[in-house]
Amino acid sequence: MSEPIIELRDIEKHFGPVIALAGVSLSVHPGECHCLLGDNGAGKSTFIKVMSGVHQPSKGEIRFEGAPVRFADPRVAIAAGISTVYQDLAMIPLMSVSRNFFMGNEPQKRVLGIPFFDHDYANRVTMEEMARLGIRLRGPDQAVGTLSGGERQTVAIARAAYFGARVLILDEPTSALGVRQTSNVLATIDAVRKRGVAVVFITHNVRHAHAVGDRFTVLNRGRTLGTASRGEISPEELQDMMAGGEELAELEGSLGGTV
Amino acid sequence: MTDTVQDERVKQTSKLRDWLMRPELGAACGTILVFVFFLMIAHDTGMFSPDGVRNWMVVAAQFAIIATGACLLMIAGEFDLSIGSMIGFSGIVIAILSVQVGLPVWLAIICAFVAAMGIGAFNGFLVIRTGLPSFIVTLASLYILRGLTIWLSILTTNRTIISGVGQAGEGDWLGAVFGGVAFQGLFQWFADIGLLDVYTSGTRAGQPLVQGVPMMIVWAVALIVFAHLLLTRTRFGNWIYAAGGNAQAARYAGVPVNRVKILMFMFTAFCATVFAAAQVMEFGSAAADRGLLKELEAIICVVIGGALLTGGYGSVIGAAMGALIFGIVQQGLYFAGAESSLFRVFLGVILLMGVILNTYIRQMITGER
């Protein structure tokens, strides 16, 4: 297998007296979808914030392409090719799809020496990219607010990939979505992975993880419970690891099905 | 190609609906309405003679200058309630430096711009660093600046009105940029060929009644064009929308939100100082109580122009039309001989209508209706 593009070793993060992460390790290879699973409060959000440069780790090492790095702030991480798509903060509803797609990466063309936003180019690329994803727009100036939640996640993922993300961190992209929208987003993740992007997919839904994941890492109470490859572990086992086992099994018995 | 496939769930919208969703719609309707209204009731009062048009155009231009700054700032998601105090402050700074201290007027004006934009930057910095709503921070600046302005004026001259800027500014190049008139030659030519009325007696016999376009109007047009192009046609404009639409999402996308917001506070201060400089050069005096309530009037112009109070959406052209409505109504009531306090009634009513219309438009944009 190829070298991991990003590797985090024994990451600890303390907020004053609170130990949010007590030793988490994870590595991601290009073209791999690595699922990070954990229940609420397991430390998933803190961990991805360390990975994307929002927080500095208290202890531990981050290696990017084999070399130790320190991401002082998110812009450094973005410049290195690490993009994060946040569930609620992926897009700005009042702005058009085209303006959202190029937000922070606006194409420019000079007219009389003055750099102007190249709307023609932005609109054309947006329409092409949306067509590839199967999202039909009335026009590039349609407001993002009119898109469904799944479409917004899809656009955000496509945007990150388009602008050269090499590591794509997805923070619970499917947790608020319906069945159909979820499968669209999962299909987009698969397409992005096939282009060689390393995907870190954060979720607490084992079935979503199992649908696209190559490897699975489970977090519980700030620690890594272990990493398993696809085929080594069943969805039920993952579910048990996440929830801490027996109580859930009992509950499932009384409810008569998988939670 | 994309256009050949249609999603059966996405309803095709008519051109009419697209047009109805433009932010400027309300202001455009309002402009036409007040025009027609005053054409009917005040057509024989001189309101639409060249002199009358200049009269209300100058008032509209005053509103437009501050509304332009307030508009970009509001789209960037912030308010500035200190615009009015800033107008008084900048005016007094120009007067004290030129009349009391004896600096050349151009230098006094530049100092006023530097001081005002510095205060604007400080407002922005406080809002960013404290995370407090700009409403509160600039409400504090409103009082602090107004108090300082009156105190400075009393301290140096023992009164709140400083005159003599007119004499000090005679022949000053920058003073003329704010207080003079443009296109004088063109207007003289209009008068010569009989298009404009001329003075028939006195020292100015033969000169047109309206000598040119007051610089207040030139500044208003220039600022509107600049702000409109900046907002809709540049990368920075996209950042303004993004910063106001959702600051955190914009930050995640790499937009320097703090820089955008602070620059917009500075631009608002710049506009307030343009207003102050033009007013001081026109009147030849400065008063510490100038600009009272202007911040609210600027915000009303912007809201009538279709901007959302919550940021992220709006139009400079709309705000300019809001300013035009104000100019026409305020001066129109005067021409029509109506009670001028009715202007405030009008302000309140049109503000309410504007906000209701905007809320409705936003729901249409985001697909809630």
Residue A230 forms contact with B (CB below 8 Å): no
B235: chain A residues, CB-CB within 8 Å: 106, 108, 115, 117
Distances (CA, A) of A183 to A33, A35, A157, A195, A211: 15, 16, 14, 19, 9
- Domains of chain B in sequence order: 48-178+190-365 (1.10.3470)
The candidate with the shortest Cα–Cα distance to B307, out of B16, B11, B18, B24, is: B24
Query: Which residue does chain B place closest to A135, by CA atoms?
Result: B7
Output helix, strand, coil percentages for chain B, rounded to the nearest 5.
Answer: 70, 5, 25
The distance of A116 to chain B (nearest Cα, Å) reads 5
**What local confidence, expressed as pLDDT, does residue A205 receive?**
85
CATH 3.30.420.40 fits A6-91+164-255, yes or no: no
**What local confidence, expressed as pLDDT, does residue B83 receive?**
97
**Interface contacts A/B by beta carbons within 8 Å:** 91
CA gap A208, A235 in Å, rounded: 10
Indicate the pairing of strand A33-38 with strand A198-203: parallel
Retrieve residue A204's tokens.
């607490």
Amino acid symbol at B157: T
With CB atoms and an 8 Å threshold, state whether B2 touches A127: yes
Model confidence pLDDT, tens digit, residues A79-133: 888 888 887 777 898 899 999 999 988 999 998 888 999 999 999 999 998 888 7
**Strand residue runs (E) in chain B:** 161-163, 181-182, 213-214, 285-287
pLDDT tens, position by position, for chain B (369 residues)?
334 444 555 555 566 666 666 778 878 888 898 889 888 888 888 888 888 899 999 999 999 999 999 999 999 999 999 999 999 999 999 999 999 998 999 999 999 999 999 999 999 999 999 999 999 999 999 999 999 999 999 999 888 898 888 888 888 889 889 988 888 888 888 888 877 877 777 777 777 878 889 999 999 999 999 999 999 999 999 999 999 999 988 988 888 999 999 999 999 999 999 999 999 998 889 999 999 999 999 999 999 898 988 899 999 999 999 999 989 988 888 888 888 788 888 888 888 888 888 788 777 776 665
Q: Which residues contact A248 (CB under 8 A, 6 or more apart)?
A: A239, A240, A259
B313: chain A residues, CB-CB within 8 Å: 94
Average pLDDT on A240-258 reads 64
Interface of A with B in 139-158 (CB under 8 A): 143, 145-146
**What local confidence, expressed as pLDDT, does residue A259 receive?**
55
- Considering the entire predicted model, what is its pTM? 0.87
Give residue limits of the domains in chain A: 6-91+164-255, 93-146
